[in-house]
Structure 1
């Protein structure tokens, strides 16, 4: 509603993008499969099949925003499709890493807030796998007086998403763990600790086919967990040769 109010007040050209029929640039027939997103891009009067090489339905709005800019610049649907399908996320933003030892990582360590945490958890939930799902959470920084309750809510959301194990690190790790336990995740599967302690426990627990999502605010340097697991995965494969 607010967007439409702003659109009506705008003096210049307005181009709407989104997931509703009112949007000129929109996505239809959305499907997720094998860590990719497939959808039909409505681009003015054209319908274009698009394959995004990233996981996460929230990425669709980013793609539509880019397509809208392309439309304003007069780009053809063919050019927009090629650009979207060539997109690769920057380091730390929903990077899929398949380790040589069969473990899979989702590196989303660049930053975090309550909304992006839940979006990432939804992505992990929707991964097609017979393995286990693990969430490694670092603190979300700069949340002020609501920090404790918001971290607890993230833990609760993680448990509701169906993860098998939760790791939390930071000042509010206990709040994350408590939130998960309140939603039924067993205490044995809620672990708190430093980067090194989490890496050590993960190494002893992970097995081929498992998926681990690692995420936290930039200041939490959760990429250290990813780096530690990558080194372990490579070493494990080398030792098995």
Structure 2
């Protein structure tokens, strides 16, 4: 791809991408195909909290402090791509950084609210896809709490041929990041149980039973990740 780009084209590589990070890119000797160090960009000193993400945006020889309401690590690469494109289109890096820092972003995921009995609810009902779920589990694991960490989900849409590997990956992450799983996805429940027989995985045939299970078990200090679209009654009845 690098060798076929036109003069003055913009190439943005994310080092988090396994393909890019393991591929040796050797541009042609033509100076228009080289990657000047002044154009290198990356993020460092990344800190994630319940209020968002802060990091140092390094572009060329300048370092800028970034503070955003975005909370998922994969949002950083998306944000940086937009920032780099804006700079390349003629805006100053200082103006781009100021604009990003001044924007109040209402994210449709990971909305934190108070729940019953002194619990905390993390509403990730915007969607339920494997990538977003894995990030949400990391967010849950890093959430400071004195109680247990719950994951509540109906499961996922059809994942095709990758279903087994995806479910195994997600189940392993659940065991690492949470203490309790409540689900109506029998396959997810069985994979978690196979990984760790002592893990508290609760299966129920329908999401309509989630409310009763949670009200019976939740105590002060517990944090509940609500993953994917759930019946409105569940969120309503376990909210403060």
The TM-score normalised by the length of structure 2 is 0.76
Query: Contact between 2:193 and 2:201, CA under 8 Å: does it hold in 1?
Result: no
* Displacement of 1:207: 2.5
Match of 1:168 in 2: 183
Find out whether 1:134 has 2:150 as its counterpart. Answer: yes
Question: Displacement, 1:196?
Answer: 1.8
2:212 matched to 1:195? no
Aligned residue number for residue 213 of structure 1:
225
* Structure-1 separation of matches of 2:202 and 2:99: 41
User: 1:65/1:104 Cα in 2 relative to 1: closer, same or farther (>3 Å)?
Assistant: farther
Task: Pick the structure with greater CA Rg.
Answer: 2
Pairing partner for 2:105 from 68, 88, 97 = 88
Distance in 1, matches of 2:120 and 2:70, equals 14
Q: Output aligned runs, 1:174-193, within 5 Å.
A: 174-184=186-196, 186=198, 188-193=200-205
SS at 1:41 equivalent: strand
Deviation at 1:72, TM superposition (A): 2.6
* 1:125 aligned residue: 141
Query: How has the CA–CA distance of structure 1 residues 80 and 155 changed in structure 2, closer, same or farther, with 3 Å as cutoff?
Result: same
Quote the RMSD (CA, aligned, Å): 2.9
CA contact (8 A) 1:94 1:106 kept: yes
- TM-score (ref. length: structure 1): 0.75
The 1:165/1:100 distance shift into structure 2, 3 A limit, reads: closer
Gapped runs of 5+ residues in structure 2? 22-36
Q: Give the count of matched residue pairs.
A: 218
What is the CA-CA distance between 1:176 and the residue it aligns to? 0.8
Displacement of 1:48 after TM fit? Answer: 0.9
Which of residues 4, 24, 40 in structure 1 aligns to 2:56? 40
CA separation of 1:164 and 1:65: change in aligned 2, threshold 3 A: same
On the 8 A contact 1:140/1:151 being kept in 2, the answer is no
Q: Deviations over 1:164-184 (max 9, x none)?
A: 110123xxx121112212222
Please name the residue that 2:25 is paired with: none
Shift of 1:127: 1.8
